[in-house]
Amino acid sequence: MATHGTRGRSGGRPTLEEVAARAGVGRGTVSRVINGSPRVSDATRAAVEAAVAELGYVPNTAARALAANRTDAIALVVPEPETRFFAEPYFSDMLKGVGAELSDTEMQLLLIFAGSDRERQRLAQYLAAHRVDGVLLVSVHADDPLPDLLAQLEIPAVISGPRSAAETLTSVDSDNYGGARQAVEHMLSGGRTRIAHITGRLDVYGAQRRVDGYRDALRDAGHAADERLIEPGDFTEDGGCRAMTNLLARCPDLDAVFAGSDVMAAGARQALREAGRSIPGDVALVGYDDSAIARHMDPPLTSVRQPIEEMGRRMIDLLLAEIADRRPPASRGLERRQVVLATELVARASS
């Protein structure tokens, strides 16, 4: 009789109803106070808050999620094996920005790795179950099916580097085009005229944009286009070394190199050294990313810094806005949002 209908509750955390009884109000009113609705009188609000404090009431997330059809959680999906995640400062910076922006929110951040097929399978299940209100996607390759899955499931998502100029998802990116221009203009102003470029993998949109920036900066400075100064790389150190070797063979008169990443710049440095070219005496060298490698290279590498932490913050802003917009399913879609953040050239001894 006493325990009628009281199934699993051993210790028994207080419920909304109990708080309501204690405060002498109705359930709806307590709910309104908890959720910060303005339509509550000051006196009532105070009474409810007192009851909440006395009882140590904490809302039941599952009940709320079920009733309101939301989870108050978002996922940061990293389509890489965990190893890379820990190896690259990119992710830790991103996480810092995301965490900071989220810290005055009720939202909970989930970190999900989707490196292996198996993990991707799990993630698909996870998303199908709508266990998060939104998704942050970082470091996505051009042919990744994940963005489309997200679109199909109608889950709000923000991507950290658009897959192409026609990206349909809301995206945040650094100004790859402008960053490349900065690098090239920096070398031009240093008196260099034969500036080569080692590109990143061209199926990565950002790498393409860097090539565009490189080309336009040279053209605007009145230099004739010379496609022989452009050599494709693949973001690896070996690739950078090979590319540099090819460039030296083809254009022995080059006096500067803009590498599409610091790692490739490290490879290029090795090739230059083996060819007996001094840095920056014979050849100026500029990288991209301003990673730890840049600071520790010999000589220290001039590099283009991306505001990764801020990118993380902006991604959260946009995602939260999109989640909020979702509720009234009225006027959606029309304006794609693409935020582009400025880069900064960090000049060091290599140029």
Partner DNA sequence: AGGTACTGTGGGAGCGCTCCCACAGGTGAT
Partner DNA sequence: ATCACCTGTGGGAGCGCTCCCACAGTACCT
Distance CA 294, CA 263 (A): 8
- Is residue 195 classed as helix, strand or coil in its secondary structure? strand
Q: Dihedrals φ, ψ of 344, to 5°?
A: -140, 135
Q: Pick between residue 65 and residue 339 the one whose CB is nearest to its own copies.
A: 65
Minimum distance, C-beta of residue 330 to DNA, in the bound complex (Å): 14
User: What is the Cα–Cα distance from 151 to 138, expressed in whole angstroms?
Assistant: 16
Nearer to DNA, 55 or 230 (CB): 55
112 binds DNA (CB under 7 A): no
The answer to the question of residue 86 lying near its own copies (CB under 8 A) is: yes
Q: Which of residues 318-337 bind its own copies (CB under 8 A)?
A: 329
From CA 158, how far away is CA 77, in angstroms rounded? 11
Give the number of residues in contact with its own copies, rule: CB under 8 A: 39
Distance CA 148, CA 318 (A): 19
What x/- string results for residues 93 through 122 when contact with its own copies is judged by CB under 8 A? Answer: --xx--x---x----x-xx-x----xx--x
Q: Which is nearer to DNA, 53 or 87 (CB)?
A: 53
183 binds, among DNA, its own copies, none (CB under 5 to 8 A by kind): none
Local structure of 190: helix, strand or coil: coil
Q: Return the percent helix, strand and coil in the chain, to nearest 5.
A: 45, 15, 40
Binding string, residues 54-73; x marks residues near DNA by CB under 7 A: ---x-xx--xx-xxxx----
Q: Sign of the C-alpha dihedral, residues 211, 98, 123, 80? A: positive
DSSP state of 344: E
- Choices 40-48, 227-235, 250-258, 314-322 (CB under 7 A): range interacting with DNA: 40-48
Residue 103 binding DNA, by CB under 7 A: no
Amino acid letter, residue 215: R
For residue 186, what are its two tokens?
């920096």
206: left (phi over 0), alpha (psi -120 to 50) or beta: alpha
**Residues that bind DNA in the complex, under the rule CB under 7 A:** 4-9, 12-13, 15-17, 24-29, 31-32, 34-35, 38-41, 43-45, 57, 59-60, 63-64, 66-69
Contact footprint for its own copies (CB under 8 A)? 8, 10-11, 13, 56, 58-63, 65-66, 69, 71, 82-83, 86, 89, 92, 95-96, 99, 103, 108, 110-111, 113, 118-119, 122, 125-126, 128-131, 154, 329
